[in-house]
Amino acid sequence: MDVTLSDGEMLALVRQVQTDSEIVDREVLQSTRLSRVERVTLEDGATYIAKRGTHLLIDEVDTIRALLGSPIPMAELYVADVKGESLTMLMEDLGPVKIQPTLEDAAEMAVRMTQTTPPDHLATEGRESLERLPQNIKSGIEQLVSLGTWENPDRIRRPVENIVNAASELGSGTEIRPFGLCHREYHPTSLHIGTKKTALVDWQRTYVGPLLPCLANWFPMADAPNMKACRQLIKAYVSAGGDPEAQDKRGDLRPESWAFFWQRVGAAEWWINSQINWQTNDTQDGSWQRAVERVIVDAQWLLP
């Protein structure tokens, strides 16, 4: 579906907050096939953030509403319309980025997450859920090959098999603290330190589960796993008041290795599932297959 708001749709959205207002500028801040985010400026100088997402992201509004008033700083939500398979929201503008968040900022916000009671509607992704991911990857790859979406994936068949065989052992420790509210998109861009306000944004696909893979998301997926930096983040999390068990080994892996392993496996499963269920032209150019192959190789490298 098209996630772009027409001029008429955008005007109708902002007029739910400011009657008779006129839009003088629209600035696209983020645009993907699943969602689009814009800063909207009105003639009186007021600004808002407008976001439209597909059905995959509809649960975001429930999470935002549940977390308002929690220890986590949130952007105010003014309008939320769910129609068919789309969610459209009008939210508080935090202002342009003032500074980039530090590792210490990430650690402090992670502590706030573990201090927050997860909303009731969120799914729990415990040990059984994690241990199923490698088998989902294996069967998903074969389905993509049979559909003609993927070319020969022989270079990762053995790594995938190794990961499947290790899943049960590496599922150990999944529910050791910290286990609770997890932000699926915990990147520096999601911790927005703006000129007007700081808030944690982008709450789509939030879940209840082990925090360590969530912390691993802080580091660019396109880079090799940065073990030293992730170890520093885990240490900073504990120093900021987080659960000291975050530094414990899991499944015979150091916590940072365990975090990156399940982060990579989770990403591969999501990308494969997305290709199977929501194929578009931009999912069939080979780039998605190469991305999955890269994170699978990373995950195999992290095996004990």
Partners of residue 1 on adjacent β-strands: none
**What contacts 135, CB < 8 A, 6 or more positions away?**
164, 167
Could you tell me the residue ranges of all domains in the chain?
7-92, 103-301
pLDDT at 95 over 90: yes
pLDDT at 73 over 80: yes
Q: Region 79-105: what's the mean pLDDT?
A: 95
Q: Grade residue 2 by pLDDT with cuts at 50, 70 and 90.
A: confident
pTM for this entry: 0.93
Residue ranges of E strands in 111-242: 179-182, 191-193, 198-200, 207-210
Q: Cα(200)–Cα(68) distance, rounded to whole angstroms?
A: 11
| Orientation angle between helical segments 287-301 and 255-277, nearest 10 degrees | 160
Q: Which amino acid is at 31?
A: S
* Residue 198, φ and ψ in degrees, nearest 5: -105, 135
Q: Look at residue 123 in the predicted model and tell me its pLDDT.
A: 95
Q: Cα(276)–Cα(149) distance, rounded to whole angstroms?
A: 9
Are the C-beta atoms of 208 and 181 separated by less than 8 Å?
Answer: yes
One CATH from 3.40.50.970, 3.30.950.10, 3.90.1200.10, 3.90.650.10 for 103-301: 3.90.1200.10
Q: Grade residue 280 by pLDDT with cuts at 50, 70 and 90.
A: low
Token pair in block for residue 190: 């999601």
pLDDT at 279 over 70: no
The highest-level CATH class for domain 7-92 is alpha beta
Cα-trace Rg, the chain: 20
DSSP letters, 143-178, are: HHHHHTSS---HHHHHHHHHHHHHHHHHTTTTTSSS
The listed range with the strongest mean pLDDT (38-47, 56-65, 81-90, 145-154) is: 38-47
Q: Which amino acid is at 4?
A: T
233-255 in b/e form (b: 16+ CB < 10 A) is bbbbbbebebbeebeeebbebbb
Q: Look at residue 286 in the predicted model and tell me its pLDDT.
A: 85
**What contacts 35, CB < 8 A, 6 or more positions away?**
3, 51, 52, 53, 54, 57, 204
